[in-house]
Structure 1
Amino acid sequence: MTAVSSRPASGEALRAVLSVRERPPRPNAVRASLTFGWRAMLRIKHVPEQLFDVTAFPVMLTLVFTYLLGGALAGSPREYLQFLLPGILVQTVVMITMYTGMALNVDIAKGVFDRIRTLPVWRPSALVGALLGDAVRYSLASVVVVTLGLVLGFRPAGGVVGVVLAVLLLLVFSFALSWIWTMLGLLMRTQNAVMGSSMMVLFPLTFGSNIFVDPSTMPGWLEAAVRVNPITHLVTAVRGLMAGEATVGQVGWVLVASAVLVAVFGPVTMRLYATKR
């Protein structure tokens, strides 16, 4: 009989037995982030109800406020639409930024979060990919709102270039804002808690801004509060770009605010992500 060796097999021998082909190269940061972004998009494919907030909701808001308040505030719905539509665009996209944190919280609850962290990929890629996937949803919401506005009679003086620049600026700010809700998704125990906390912040910020009316028509104390609201600055820049009247200061304020949000909440979120148990 042939003696069987009791020595443990080497790592190379095990890999040779278990693998019949060469191991694929480790994905770089960009490729890993794009893969996780595609994963976020597949969620929409399997749960199309997620598109309600980027399709039906902005349509409903635009129609209700245009025809309910347009005659009283601007003399006619068409006139009011020129003022309202950029604001509704901002409100729609900003409100859905909270879903990034909610989706992350669901992954944590289901154990997917722990599985992803064991993968040999760039550690932040899961978060960055989720944010990139949501940026597609923001773009879809923007297309829905602008298209509906054009059908109803919205005519941006800034033309196609102004509209595209306004949407890009909004996407940059929304991407930066999403880091806050991602942080909450890591801190909160349930997705309902994430949604509730996000709404407590977003609801007063959006409705307490210049989305629906000119701040100059408000009482002095309220006007002062509205004018320091970051959403007011964002709406002013988006409205200015669509009208072809935006200043460097208006656009620059939004870009600086976006950079500050990422600089502050990005590292904090990544720290929580790395130490989450």
Structure 2
Amino acid sequence: MTVTEKPAEPIAPRARGGFRQSFSDSLVMGKRNLIRMLRIPEVVIFGLIQPIMFVVLFSYVFGGSINIPGAGLDAATYREFLMGGIFAQTVTFATAGASAGIADDNLKGLVDRFRSLPMARGAVLTGRTFADMVQTALTLVVLAIVALLVGWRTHENFLKVLAGFALLLFLGYAFTWIGALIGLSVRTPEAATSGGLVWLFPLTFISTAFVPSQNMPAVLQHIAEWNPFSATVQAARELFGNIPPGYPVPDAWPMQHPVLASVLWSIVIIAVFRTLAVRKYKSATA
């Protein structure tokens, strides 16, 4: 009587645990994505062109034609009022890049390869979002230089201005987790790019980014004032000293306490969408 031995099933490597290991793995993945961005410089260049166009077009096309309560139709005042919105729009539009990048990795099978390695499960996504934040920071630097050239100025001390940019980056980082979830939920990078942008336009335009909420119909006014995007825009304006004298700040709580509201909104978005994205990553590649 012969006994046929059953071949042993391959055992997938177990991910190493612990915060330190997870942090280390995330840095490795972040470095990998940064190197990839450097090897495709046109992605960074085209990412800079769009916000620069927005700055120039809004400053010189709409400047002087939009009434700012307390300041009227002054073009210089509108430029300073505008820049908080342009900065915030720029950091949130990084969502589309995160979506497309993760969808591309997934399509090429790289996500499955990463999953086969003994690394923290959330490191792939954390590294990607970290790299996107670095790219966004670079974009903000270039955009700030362009804004200075068209007449934007800050009227607060350096620490407050730095805090304003930190809040903008924090919001951008939070939104890249939404992009990560979208990238894992679609099949192609093209679909990810569309899915990462289509909902951003109403979010950014039904806000206080480009026009005061007082100029909107009553229903849209309430939506704009409680929009998480508006809270960060208002916080940036406050920290940059770009709120015009005499401008009536809306009574909504996020507008009265924009810095705190911005931090809370970003924390909630990260907590919710990071959890959903990591869960989707585990189930989609299992």
Q: What's the TM-score once normalised by structure 1's chain length?
A: 0.84
Secondary structure of 1:71's counterpart equals coil
Deviations 1:106-144 (A, max 9, x none): 011111111111112222111111111011111011111
**Amino acid of the structure 2 residue aligned with 1:234:** T
Q: In structure 2, how many angstroms separate the alpha carbons of the residues matched to 1:244 and 1:164?
A: 14
Give the counterpart of 1:71 among 64, 75, 96. Answer: 64
Counterpart in 2 of 1:23? none
**1:1-277 alignment, distance < 5 Å:** 28-73=21-66, 75-243=73-241, 249-277=257-285
Secondary structure of 2:199's counterpart equals helix
**Amino acid of the structure 1 residue aligned with 2:90:** T
Deviations 1:139-182 (A, max 9, x none): 01111121111222211112322221111111112211211121
**Amino acid of the structure 2 residue aligned with 1:39:** R
Give, in angstroms, the shift of residue 248 of structure 1: 8.5
Higher alpha-carbon Rg:
1
Q: Structure 1 residues 147, 99: CA separation in 2 closer, same or farther (over 3 Å shift)?
A: same
Q: In structure 1, how many angstroms separate the alpha carbons of the residues matched to 2:182 and 2:110?
A: 17
Over the aligned positions, Cα root-mean-square deviation in angstroms equals: 2.0
Counterpart in 2 of 1:6? none
Gaps of 5+ in 1: 1-26
Give, in angstroms, the shift of residue 76 of structure 1: 4.4
The structure richer in helix per residue is 1
Stretch moving more, 235-244 or 58-67: 235-244
**Amino acid of the structure 2 residue aligned with 1:98:** A
Q: In structure 1, how many angstroms separate the alpha carbons of the residues matched to 2:204 and 2:121?
A: 33
Tell whether the 8 Å contact from 1:162 to 1:244 is kept in structure 2 after alignment: no
Tell whether the 8 Å contact from 2:208 to 2:224 is kept in structure 1 after alignment: yes
Secondary structure of 1:239's counterpart equals helix
Q: In structure 2, how many angstroms separate the alpha carbons of the residues matched to 1:209 and 1:52?
A: 27
The sequence identity of aligned pairs, in percent, is 31
Give, in angstroms, the shift of residue 183 of structure 1: 1.0
Q: In structure 2, how many angstroms separate the alpha carbons of the residues matched to 1:230 and 1:182?
A: 19
Q: In structure 2, how many angstroms separate the alpha carbons of the residues matched to 1:53 and 1:214?
A: 29
Give, in angstroms, the shift of residue 53 of structure 1: 4.2
Gaps of 5+ in 2: 1-19, 67-71, 244-253
Secondary structure of 2:198's counterpart equals helix
Give, in angstroms, the shift of residue 54 of structure 1: 3.4
Tell whether the 8 Å contact from 2:104 to 2:189 is kept in structure 1 after alignment: yes
Q: In structure 1, how many angstroms separate the alpha carbons of the residues matched to 2:50 and 2:211?
A: 20
Q: In structure 1, how many angstroms separate the alpha carbons of the residues matched to 2:36 and 2:76?
A: 37
Q: What's the TM-score once normalised by structure 2's chain length?
A: 0.82
Give, in angstroms, the shift of residue 52 of structure 1: 3.0
Q: In structure 1, how many angstroms separate the alpha carbons of the residues matched to 2:80 and 2:121?
A: 44
